[in-house]
Structure 1
Amino acid sequence: MDNFWLKQAFDRLGKPRVQSLSMHVTADVTIVGGGYLGLWTAIRIKESSPSLNVAVVERDVCGSGASGRNGGFVTSYWAKYLSLHKLCGTEEAARIAKASAEAVLEIGAFCRENGIDAEFRADGWLWTATSAPQIGCWNILLDELDKHNVRPFQALDGADVARLGGTDRNLAGVFEPNAATVQPAILALGLRDHAQKLGVAIYEHSPMIRLERTRTPKVITPKGSVTSKAVVLAMNAWGAQFTYLRRKVAIVSSDMIATTARPEKLNEIGFRKGVAICDSRMFLNYYRNTPDGRVVFGKSLGHFAFAGRVDDHYDGASPRAAEVEESFRKLYPALGDMEIESSWTGPIDRSVNGLPFFGRLDNHPGIVFGIGFSGQGVAPSVLGGKILASLALDEANQWSNCGLVRENVERFPIEPFRYAGSIVVREALRRKEGLEDRARSPDPLTLAIANLAPVGYVPSRRN
């Protein structure tokens, strides 16, 4: 198994007992997708309405998709406040960002209360610059937040940035204390166990092969089916198979490596705390250590899927592991003798503005969806579960009327123009960031093309 986190979780906890769907059943709500979003939705529904029959249909095992492959960053939406503000205004943007920050704490409390050892470490998030042009890129955001007397970030001097991250290759940065890291697959399996204790029926190794959009929708799997009043699509990148959603997200790879466990080496450079770290590139470097003394290092490299097809090249070992390792070695030259033990890859469902969106598929009253988490879904999926539970139960409340529930979602170009354009923009970004690393200025054409990229972490005046 090439999924490092899930293999580690199975080694510690044992492989879960799996039940596949082998007959026709009925439910009140069927959830397609056994990751964070689907499981939080199932839990919210059962907490709100314990008598309802809730079924989860998962193509593999819970946590095998994005929920068990990510970097384990549990961060809020304060970094995306400008996009939120543009989308839904000052008051709603602040409410969503505050709720996402509360979700960080909620995950920690959930783990403690349910005895889930998901290695939750509330040591904050360090947002850094690794080249001169990146320094201060966060100032637009901080200035806007300051206007509203909101200050979730702390400015750090260069020495503190180097100390927290264990490397002087980070030149500057700001710090968000209210953030954490987790072992993502153990969290997913903990959600799975809790959902089952609440009475949720979970069917794994049961991929949806067809969705019948009748008045009472039916989810068809290879050996069975589920008919229910409501269907929730919580499929992340795999949701792009639906025409209604395909142009609203772009599927792009993110690739990760994990070193061998060498806690003494991390102690030597002072890289001890479980701080989540990322830089200010579009091809983001994101990394952290683990309690047993590894470095887990990821990079968004821009391998796009044509027409939103999530094929097998998003599974298994990363074909781009050497490029990820090169970035790791540049940032941590002092860890040159730490070997790479594992690599893996996975798809990200990126929206144009970097925010998820929720709604009803083709306006069908009984089929709801959430998609577009853009690689930042661990804490926001807690909110997503509240939104989808409210939509599935047809409740009118602060979540079903949330600013992230919207019809008018900006779309990417049609194929093949989207795919061809993504390659052109990707290569322009590579040139831009490569030149900036060498203290050289990119030419105006490269800058203009690079600026066509979707919104990432780095704020821009386009927000």
Structure 2
Amino acid sequence: MNARVPLSPTFANGDVSHWYRSGGVPEPGPRLDGDTRADVVIVGGGYTGLWTAYYLKKARPALDVVVLEKEFAGFGASGRNGGWLTGDLAGSHERYARTHGAQAARALQREMFASVDEVIRVCAAEGIEADIVKSGVVNVARTHAQAVRMRAAVEQARAWGFGEEDLRLVDPGDHLRVAGARAGTWSPHCARVQPARLVRGLAETVRGLGVRVYERTPVTEIVPHRALTPYGTAQAAHVIRATEGFTARLKGLRRQWLPMNSSMIVTEPLPASFWERVGWQGAELLGDLAHYYMYAQRTADDRIAFGGRGRPYLYGSRVDARGHTHDATVEALWRLLVDFFPAASASKVAHAWSGVLAVPRDWCSTVHLDPATGLGWAGGYTGHGVTTANLAGRTLRDLVLGEESALTALPWVGRRVRAWEPEPLRWLGVHTMYRLYRVADHRERSMTRTSALARIADLITGH
């Protein structure tokens, strides 16, 4: 590691994530041993799969539900993310409205807001302790160009019918003080969560409801009514794919969703004097308006967990499942953290890790179920999966049970998105996009408007 990054004596790189440090990485449960039948088979033991299993069993306790997971429940993005239980839409209002109308797009956004509270409700009802605190989210603008984009975003929210109670401009130091902040917004629709505790608690809950969870059971292919593994075939009327960033590993789905990497570091616990100095007295989440954006939370034990993009994409849609983070990425995240909070320079980095999220070609999430084949899926959350997975689970419940509802009428249901380009085009496109974003952020330090390079990057990948 570069000597410019101060590391804790117990520094770890990878090993899933810091979120598992306190309780340890769980020992995987039993794997599938031979062929089996069920009413519903779910492939993937993360938030989407577990929420779907939960709501199905709560609605129909007699249903036989099976979850198949390659490693252990919560191994993927569900145990590695930044802990943002956010109401931000996983997609574009305009794109959803283009096919289903503005009212449908607004309905989807309102359901996202409500899903934050639904997760909190279930955790309270089921006794899942996940350090959840709903203090909202603060976004800061640190350049004039970012401030212009921020004001435009608030105006756009008003045009979509979302008022001051959903998103409002605030003075930069109202909730916390970020060095160089020129403007800020605050929204109540966000809560801090300890991601690993949430997914592990959810896994225990669904097991208690009678869901059969098979770990150490990789699924190699999904076909109508069947999920194929090296140890046996799971058959069911419905087979749900809930593999998010790992979808490209399945046969025939390499170009379905792009597996995008995101990386994080976490500091050692910071003293009370630090939090007083920066004014971060609550559990607000923190983001910014840069193109190469960051995200952060104050953890329950007074650390800063700070994330952003590292090496965004590996050639051929490969995935580094072990979460090792490159030295240059750790250094870049540390420099940015200290740039935001100079007083944090007295701390050290305790852990670095990476995870993978799924990005559809149009950057809009989807939920789907084909009654003819029994095949369904949800995902492509573009980094907003902690909350969106809950909404997906409830929607898949209604689709599987054949119940028409307000959820099944939402515009992301049945949405068809074309595949990503073959290599080397998608590798070149993604890396060009992020190179342009980095340069655009640098240029905007002395600009009063959004750099044209950022607009070119958006055009390249359809962001």
Which residue is equivalent to 2:10? none
Which residue is equivalent to 1:167? 178
SS at match of 2:21: helix
Which residue is equivalent to 2:456? 449
CA distance in 1, matches of 2:408, 2:65: 19
**Shift in Å, 1:32:** 0.5
Q: Which amino acid aligns with 1:259?
A: T
1:131-159: per-residue Cα shift (whole Å, max 9, x none)?
A: 21111314444334324542110210233
Which residue is equivalent to 2:120? 108
Residues 1:375 and 1:364: Cα distance change in structure 2 (over 3 Å): farther
**Shift in Å, 1:330:** 1.2
From 151, 162, 170, the equivalent of 1:156 is: 170
- Alignment of 1:347 with 2:356, yes or no, is yes
- Alignment of 1:74 with 2:85, yes or no, is yes
Aligned residues: 445
**Shift in Å, 1:109:** 1.5
Residues 1:249 and 1:219: Cα distance change in structure 2 (over 3 Å): closer
Contact 1:283 1:301 in 2 (8 A): no
Which residue is equivalent to 1:117? 129
**Shift in Å, 1:89:** 1.8
Which residue is equivalent to 1:251? 259
Contact 1:286 1:299 in 2 (8 A): yes
**Shift in Å, 1:399:** 2.8
- Alignment of 1:223 with 2:235, yes or no, is no
SS at match of 2:308: strand
Residues 1:47 and 1:291: Cα distance change in structure 2 (over 3 Å): same
TM-score by length of 2: 0.89
Residues 1:10 and 1:221: Cα distance change in structure 2 (over 3 Å): farther
1:38-437 residue pairs with structure 2 within 5 A?
A: 38-77=49-88, 80-147=92-159, 149-151=161-163, 152-160=166-174, 164-211=175-222, 213-214=223-224, 217-242=225-250, 245-264=253-272, 265-301=274-310, 303-312=312-321, 315-319=323-327, 320-360=329-369, 365-437=373-445
SS at match of 2:48: helix
Residues 1:21 and 1:447: Cα distance change in structure 2 (over 3 Å): closer
Contact 2:264 2:353 in 1 (8 A): yes
Contact 2:51 2:390 in 1 (8 A): yes
CA distance in 2, matches of 1:208, 1:412: 22
Which residue is equivalent to 1:8? 21
1:195-223: per-residue Cα shift (whole Å, max 9, x none)?
A: 11111011111111233x25xx2222232
Q: Which amino acid aligns with 2:340?
A: L
CA distance in 1, matches of 2:188, 2:148: 19
1:96-124: per-residue Cα shift (whole Å, max 9, x none)?
A: 11111111111112222222220001000
TM-score by length of 1: 0.89
Contact 1:81 1:141 in 2 (8 A): no
CA distance in 1, matches of 2:75, 2:116: 22
Contact 1:69 1:346 in 2 (8 A): yes
CA distance in 2, matches of 1:35, 1:308: 20
SS at match of 2:29: coil
CA distance in 1, matches of 2:17, 2:251: 32
Residues 1:455 and 1:449: Cα distance change in structure 2 (over 3 Å): closer
Residues 1:453 and 1:293: Cα distance change in structure 2 (over 3 Å): farther
Gaps (5+ residues) in structure 2? 1-13
- RMSD value over aligned CA atoms? 2.5
Contact 1:2 1:343 in 2 (8 A): no
Residues 1:140 and 1:437: Cα distance change in structure 2 (over 3 Å): closer
Relative to structure 2, which stretch is displaced further, 381-390 or 413-422? 413-422
Relative to structure 2, which stretch is displaced further, 286-295 or 142-151? 142-151
Percentage identity across aligned positions?
26
**Shift in Å, 1:245:** 4.8
Contact 2:30 2:215 in 1 (8 A): yes
**Shift in Å, 1:267:** 3.2
Residues 1:121 and 1:231: Cα distance change in structure 2 (over 3 Å): same
CA distance in 1, matches of 2:259, 2:28: 31
CA distance in 2, matches of 1:170, 1:302: 27
SS at match of 1:63: coil
Q: Which amino acid aligns with 1:2?
A: D
Residues 1:221 and 1:246: Cα distance change in structure 2 (over 3 Å): closer
1:272-301: per-residue Cα shift (whole Å, max 9, x none)?
A: 211111111232110111121100000023
CA distance in 2, matches of 1:71, 1:447: 25
Contact 2:172 2:178 in 1 (8 A): no
Residues 1:15 and 1:421: Cα distance change in structure 2 (over 3 Å): closer
Relative to structure 2, which stretch is displaced further, 317-326 or 37-46? 317-326
SS at match of 2:386: coil
Residues 1:335 and 1:40: Cα distance change in structure 2 (over 3 Å): same
CA distance in 1, matches of 2:187, 2:71: 35
**Shift in Å, 1:442:** 8.6
Contact 1:358 1:371 in 2 (8 A): yes
CA distance in 1, matches of 2:341, 2:140: 14
Contact 1:329 1:335 in 2 (8 A): yes
SS at match of 2:355: strand
Which residue is equivalent to 1:460? none
CA distance in 2, matches of 1:310, 1:412: 16
Contact 2:141 2:150 in 1 (8 A): no
